[in-house]
Structure 1
Amino acid sequence: MLEPNFPITLKFEDVVYKVKLEGKKSKEKTILKGVSGMVKPGEILAMLGPSGSGKTTLLSALGGRLNTKLLHGKITYNNQPFSGIIKRRSGFVPQDDILYPHLTVFETLFFTALLRLPNTLTHPEKVNQVETVISELGLTRVRNSMIGGPLVRGISGGEKKRVSIGQEMLINPSLMLLDEPTSGLDSTTAMRIMSILKGLAEKGRSLITTIHQPSSRLYHMFDKVVVLSEGSPIYYGSSSYALHYFSSIGFSTSFTINPADLLLDLASGIGPESKHAMEQGENMEKEKKEVKEAVISGYEKNIYTTLKSELSNLESANTFDSKKDASTLQRKGRKGEQWCTSWWHQFKVLVQRGMKERRYEAFNRLRIFQVLSVAILGGLLWWQTPESHIEDRMALIFFFSVFWGFYPLYNAVFTFPQERRMLMKERTSGMYKLSSYFLARTIGDLPLELALPTAFVFIIYWMGGLKPSPIIFLLSLIVILYNVLVAQSLGLAIGAILMDIKPATTLASVTTLVFLIAGGYYVQQIPPFIVWLKYLSYSFYCYRLLLGVQYQENDTYPCFKMGKWELCKVTDVPAVKSMGLSHLWVDVWILGLMLVGYRIIAYLALQRLRIK
C-alpha cells in the first residue's frame, strides 16, 4: 500500500459527551468524562475498558460521527477542527461488518472504489487499487466468492472483517478508526487482522481501535492505550509502561499476567487483591468503588497534568510544521467539502450496484410462483366471463386495482428499513449524495418491479375475457403499472418515516384495509361524514380509471329483464353510476400527485436520518 500523502496527528482534550435520558425531562447521562490523548502517524492507539465504558462513543466522537451539540472538549486533526478533507482522509470500520450479502468480494470493493475514489483516477487505476487491496489483505482466494449473510452462505467472519477494512484502505486514509476489529474472531485470525493494521500504521497512518479483551500478543502490538472506567480515563500512555504505572500507585501483581487483563480488572473496580474476596463471596461493591476512585484519582494526579502539558507544548511548538502546511490543509479542506465524484457518476454506479445486489431478490422463484399462480388461478375463476355478467367483470377489474395496489406496497415498505445501516454507514463516509442514492434505489428497481405485473396482466386479462381490443388492453396495463408506482411510493414513504419493519408493516396493513373498503367496490354509498376516505385511496382512482378504459358512456351489455334479453346501458349499473366514467384525466392527475408527493415525503424522511 502507498504511504498516506497527508499524515494526520489527532489530539483530543477533555472530551465530554452527555445524552438526554428518554422520558426524563432535563435529565442527562454523562457517557464520557473528560478524556484526553493523542495519536501520531505511525502509532496505534488502543481503547480498553469493560462493556459500557464509552469506548465506541469516544471512537465515534474522534471520527466526527457524534452530535456536536452534545459533545464538549477539543478534538483537532493537525491542530484543525474536523472538516470535509479530514472526513475523506479518514477510514471508519464499525464493529459489525455492514456488507451487501449478494455481492462478491471483488464487486464490494470495486463499487466502493468507484464511489469513493476521485474522478481524477481512471477506471483501470481504480481496478488496480482494488486488486492491490485484495492482495494486501490476503483475499485473493475468495475474490469471486459471495459475501453472504444470514440466509446466504458466504465467506468467513475474518474475511468479512478484512473486506470491511479493505473498503477503508481503498481511499489510502491518513487516519483509521476501527471498532472492535477482532470481535468474534479466533486468536489466529485476530492476530492476522492486527498484523495487517500494524503494517498500515508503519506506513505512516494514525490508527485508533477499540478492543474488548486482547490477548497478550495483541496487547504488545499497541503503541499507546487509553483505559476507560464508566467514561472516566484511568490510564493513558505507552502500552509497555501500564503495568509499571499501576504498580507505582499500589496495584502490583506478584505473578505474570496479561497486562490487558489487569487493566480491565482495574477499570471494573477489581484490584489484584480483590480476587480472593470475590471467591469468598464477600460484598464487593464498596471495594469496587474504592478501587475505581483510587485509579481515577491516580490518573488525575500522575497522568492528566503531564498529558495536558504535552498536548499544549505540541500545539505551540508544532502548530503546523509550517504556514505552508496550514494553508495546504485549508485549501484542501475547501476542496474536500465538495464530492469527489459527480452526481451522475454516483447515480450510475448505485443503479449498477443495486441491480447486481438484487438480481437474486427480484426474480426469485418464490416471488415468480406467487404472482403467476395468482394470475392463473384468477384467470380460471373469471374464465371468459360473458358480457352479461357485468358484475363479475367489475369484480375482476377491482381485483386488478387491489392486488397491484397492495403487493408492491408491502414489498416497498421493507426497502429503507433493511438498508438503514448500510445507508448510514455510507452516508457518514461521504460516499454519495442522498438524492443520487434515493433516485438510484427507486428508479433502478423499476424494470424489475414492473416486469411481474406486466406478466400478471397478460395472463389474467385474456383469460378473464375482458374486451379483446389491443388498445384497451394496453391502456389497462398502463393504468395498472401507474398504480404499482403509486403503491410503491406510499410503501417507500411509510418505510422511510418509521424505519422499523414491524410498525411499518402494521401501518401498511391498516392503510391497505382502509383503501380496500373505501375503494368504491364494497361500499358504494359511503356516509357523508367519512366519504373523504375514498379520496385518499389510490385504489379508488385506479378502479375508476380501469372502468373508464373498459367502458364508455354509451356502452351497453346484454341484460335479462321482464323475462327477455335486452341491451342495458352500462352507466345504469349502480356500481358504475356511483363511480362515474367522466373523471379520467382528474384521476390521472391525482395519482400523479400521490406518486410525486409520497416520494418527496420518503426523501425528506431519509434526510432526517442521523447517527445518534
Structure 2
Amino acid sequence: MTNHIPSSLRAGFVTQDDVLFPHLTVKETLTYAARLRLPKAYTKEQKEKRALDVIYELGLERCQDTMIGGSFVRGVSGGERKRVCIGNEIIINPSLLFLDEPTSGLDSTTALRIVQMLQDIAEAGKTVVTTIHQPSSRLFHKFDKLILLGKGSLLYFGKASETMTYFQSIGCSPLISMNPAEFLLDLANGNINDVSLPSELEDKVQMGNAEAETQNGKPSPAVVHEYLVEAYETRVAETEKKRLMVPIPLDEALKTKVCSHKRQWGASWDEQFSILFWRGIKERRHDYFSWLRITQVLSTAVILGLLWWQSDTKNPKDLQDQAGLLFFIAVFWGFFPVFTAIFTFPQERAMLSKERAADMYRLSAYFLARTTSDLPLDLILPVLFLLVVYFMAGLRLSVAPFFLTVLTVFLCIVAAQGLGLAIGATLMDLKRATTLASVTVMTFMLAGGFFVQRVPIFFSWIRYMSFNYHTYKLLLKVQYEHISPVINGIRIDSGATEVAALIAMVFGYRFLAYLSLRRMKLQSGA
C-alpha cells in the first residue's frame, strides 16, 4: 500500500484496554477516526479511502461491516478488536507507535498474528514500541531490541537476540530449557530457581552475609536485583548512553515543527460537530430502540390507559383522578431521562480521554454533539407513549392540546436530561451519581404540587427548581384552562413562567455539565 500521508512527528498510542464504541461497525469506527484525525487538506473521499486501505492492511475486510461488540453485544473477536484499535492509530501513518500490552487477553495464535503485524509495520519504516508480559518464545524472537526493567531500574537494553549471551556473561543462565522471556522475568523478579548463580552472589552466601541470604540459603530477590543493576551499569550502560546521546541533525523545517505547540485539528468545528452528531446517533440508536425499552414504555402506557380508561372531568372527583394521571406523566418523563443521562459521561470517560488526548476534536464540539444527538431519539418514544395514553384515558380531544402536551413532555425530558448530565459529569462516579439523583428526583417529585399543596414557606423554594412542578402546571393548563382557574390548589396562569423555568433548566444544567467536563483537565481547548 502506498502512503501519501507524511509520518514526521506523528505518534500513535494503543492502550491496553480496547476503548471502542460497541455498536459501530469496524468500517464506521475507522472511517470516523480518519475523518477526525487526518489533516484538513484531505477531502472526505480521501479520508474514507484511507480508512479502507487500513482495513485491508490489517486484514479486517471480512469483518468490516460487523459491529465491534462488547460485554452485552456480540461482535468481532478479541484479535480483530485489537487490530481495530491499532488501525485507529496507524490511520495517521505515525512515525512512532506505542502499544501497551497488545497481546493481553489473547490466545497464543492470535497474539502471534498481532506481533507479526506489528513487525510488518516496523519493517515498513516505523518505530514500534510495546510493553509485553510473558510472551511466548516465538513472540520474543520477533523483537529487534529489548528493554528489561525490574522495580523501575534498567537491567538490560540492547538487541533481543543478544540478551541470553549478555546474561550468561554475568553468570546468569538457565539450568533447564525454558522460554527466554520466562527466564528474564524470573531474573527481574529475583527468582533464581533453576538459574545458575554468578560467583559474586555465591561468595556472599558462603560468607554468611545476613542481608544476602534467605531461609533456604539463596540470595534474596533484593540482592539479585542489586547485582543485575550494577552489572548493567558497569558493563553496558556507559557505551549505550554515549551511542544514544549522539545528536541527530534536523533540518530547519523540522525544527520549526518540533518547537511549534499549536494544535492542528483534522476538521473544522462544524465538521467535528457533524461527524460526532451522526456517530452518536448511530451508536445509541440500538439502545434507544431496544425491545426492552420499547416494551417498558408501551406497557406502562397501556397500564395507565386501562387505569384511567375514558376518564372524564364532569365532577371534581373525576377531575382530581385525571389530574393524578397528568402528574404521573410529569414524574415518569422526569425520572426516566435523569437516570438514562447519568450514565452518559461516566461511561464515555475513557473514550473521551483517549480521543481528546489524540486531539481528535474540541470539547465544545463533542459536548454539543453528544447532548443534541439524543434529541431526535428522545422524541419518538414519548410520542408513542402519549398516542396510547392520551386517547385511552380520554384526555382533551383536540389537535392543539395534544401537540401542546407532547411539547410540554418533550421540554420536561430535555430539562431532566440536563440534570442527569450535570450530576454525571460533576461526580463521574455512577454509585454516587445515582444516589444524588435519587434524592434530588424524589425531592422534586414530592414538591411537585400533587402530594402537598401547602408546602412550608422555608421549603417552598424547592418546587420552583422542580421540573415536575413546572411540567405538571403546564399539563394542567393545557387540559383544564377552559374548566377552572384553580385545579387541586394550583392556580392556572399564562404558563410563561413555567416555560421560562424549564428552558432555563435545559441550558443551565447543560452549562454546569460542560464546566464539569472542562474541570477534568482532559485536554484544554474550546
> TM-score w.r.t. structure 2 length?
0.90
- Equivalence map 1:180-195=2 (5 Å): 180-195=101-116
Q: CA deviation at 1:264?
A: 0.8
The root-mean-square deviation of aligned C-alpha atoms, in Å, is 2.4
- 3-state SS, counterpart of residue 231 of structure 2: helix
- Equivalence map 1:237-248=2 (5 Å): 237-248=158-169
- 3-state SS, counterpart of residue 434 of structure 2: helix
Aligned match of 1:299:
232
Aligned match of 2:80:
159
- Provide Cα deviations, 1:581-610, integer angstroms capped at 9, x if missing partner: 226212211211111111011112222335
- 3-state SS, counterpart of residue 521 of structure 1: coil
Whether 1:147 and 2:68 are equivalent positions in the alignment is yes
Whether 1:590 and 2:501 are equivalent positions in the alignment is yes
- 3-state SS, counterpart of residue 171 of structure 2: coil
User: For 1:338, which of 245, 264, 285 is the aligned residue?
Assistant: 264
Whether 1:289 and 2:200 are equivalent positions in the alignment is no
Quick check: which one's strand share is greater? 1
Q: CA deviation at 1:299?
A: 2.7
- 3-state SS, counterpart of residue 527 of structure 1: coil
For the residues of structure 2 that align with 1:361 and 1:178, how far apart are their CA atoms?
31
- Provide Cα deviations, 1:203-258, integer angstroms capped at 9, x if missing partner: 21111100001122211221211111122222112212222222222323344443
For the residues of structure 1 that align with 2:218 and 2:506, how far apart are their CA atoms?
61
Aligned match of 2:30:
109
- 3-state SS, counterpart of residue 529 of structure 1: coil
Contact 2:276 2:366 in 1 (8 A): yes
5+ unaligned residues in a row in structure 2: which ranges?
Answer: 203-213
Aligned match of 1:16:
none
Aligned match of 1:93:
14
Aligned match of 2:419:
490
User: For 1:550, which of 458, 467, 479 is the aligned residue?
Assistant: 479
- 3-state SS, counterpart of residue 121 of structure 1: coil
Q: CA deviation at 1:487?
A: 0.4
- Provide Cα deviations, 1:510-549, integer angstroms capped at 9, x if missing partner: 1111111111110111122222222221111111222223
Whether 1:353 and 2:279 are equivalent positions in the alignment is yes
Contact 2:445 2:468 in 1 (8 A): yes
Deviates more, 1:208-217 or 1:523-532: 523-532
Aligned match of 1:428:
357
Aligned match of 1:442:
371
Q: Using CA pairs under 8 Å that are at least 6 residues apart, name the structure with larger relative contact order, 1 or 2.
A: 1
Contact 2:173 2:195 in 1 (8 A): no
Contact 2:338 2:417 in 1 (8 A): yes
Supply the AA of the counterpart residue of 2:163: A
Aligned match of 1:175:
96
For the residues of structure 2 that align with 1:366 and 1:103, how far apart are their CA atoms?
20
- 3-state SS, counterpart of residue 185 of structure 1: coil
Q: CA deviation at 1:508?
A: 1.6
Contact 2:37 2:92 in 1 (8 A): yes
Supply the AA of the counterpart residue of 2:300: V
For the residues of structure 2 that align with 1:593 and 1:551, how far apart are their CA atoms?
25
- 3-state SS, counterpart of residue 458 of structure 2: helix
Aligned match of 2:296:
370
For the residues of structure 2 that align with 1:474 and 1:610, how far apart are their CA atoms?
43
Whether 1:469 and 2:408 are equivalent positions in the alignment is no
- Quickly say closer, same or farther: Cα 1:512–1:365, change in 2 above 3 A: same
- Provide Cα deviations, 1:431-461, integer angstroms capped at 9, x if missing partner: 1111111111111111111111122122212
Q: CA deviation at 1:265?
A: 0.9
- 3-state SS, counterpart of residue 207 of structure 1: strand
Contact 2:37 2:266 in 1 (8 A): yes
Contact 2:37 2:265 in 1 (8 A): no
- Quickly say closer, same or farther: Cα 1:607–1:344, change in 2 above 3 A: same
For the residues of structure 1 that align with 2:121 and 2:49, how far apart are their CA atoms?
18
Deviates more, 1:91-100 or 1:253-262: 253-262
Aligned match of 2:180:
259
Q: CA deviation at 1:472?
A: 2.1
Contact 2:172 2:196 in 1 (8 A): no
Aligned match of 2:139:
218
- Equivalence map 1:574-589=2 (5 Å): 575-576=488-489, 579-582=490-493, 584-589=495-500
For the residues of structure 2 that align with 1:392 and 1:285, how far apart are their CA atoms?
84
- 3-state SS, counterpart of residue 528 of structure 1: coil
Aligned match of 1:451:
380
Aligned match of 1:15:
none
Contact 2:33 2:88 in 1 (8 A): yes
- 3-state SS, counterpart of residue 459 of structure 2: helix
User: For 1:395, which of 324, 335, 339 is the aligned residue?
Assistant: 324
Whether 1:133 and 2:44 are equivalent positions in the alignment is no
For the residues of structure 1 that align with 2:196 and 2:175, how far apart are their CA atoms?
13
Contact 1:181 1:211 in 2 (8 A): yes
> TM-score w.r.t. structure 1 length?
0.78
Contact 1:398 1:543 in 2 (8 A): yes
- Quickly say closer, same or farther: Cα 1:188–1:125, change in 2 above 3 A: same
- Equivalence map 1:288-327=2 (5 Å): 288-312=221-245, 314-315=246-247, 318-320=248-250, 322-327=251-256
For the residues of structure 1 that align with 2:400 and 2:363, how far apart are their CA atoms?
40
For the residues of structure 1 that align with 2:253 and 2:281, how far apart are their CA atoms?
46
- Equivalence map 1:193-204=2 (5 Å): 193-204=114-125
Q: CA deviation at 1:176?
A: 0.3
Q: How many corresponding residue pairs? A: 505
For the residues of structure 2 that align with 1:176 and 1:434, how far apart are their CA atoms?
25
Supply the AA of the counterpart residue of 2:270: W
- 3-state SS, counterpart of residue 125 of structure 1: helix
Contact 1:518 1:534 in 2 (8 A): yes
Supply the AA of the counterpart residue of 1:106: K
For the residues of structure 1 that align with 2:136 and 2:105, how far apart are their CA atoms?
13
For the residues of structure 1 that align with 2:253 and 2:360, how far apart are their CA atoms?
29
Aligned match of 1:419:
348
- 3-state SS, counterpart of residue 220 of structure 2: helix
User: For 1:385, which of 282, 292, 311 is the aligned residue?
Assistant: 311
For the residues of structure 2 that align with 1:187 and 1:266, how far apart are their CA atoms?
23
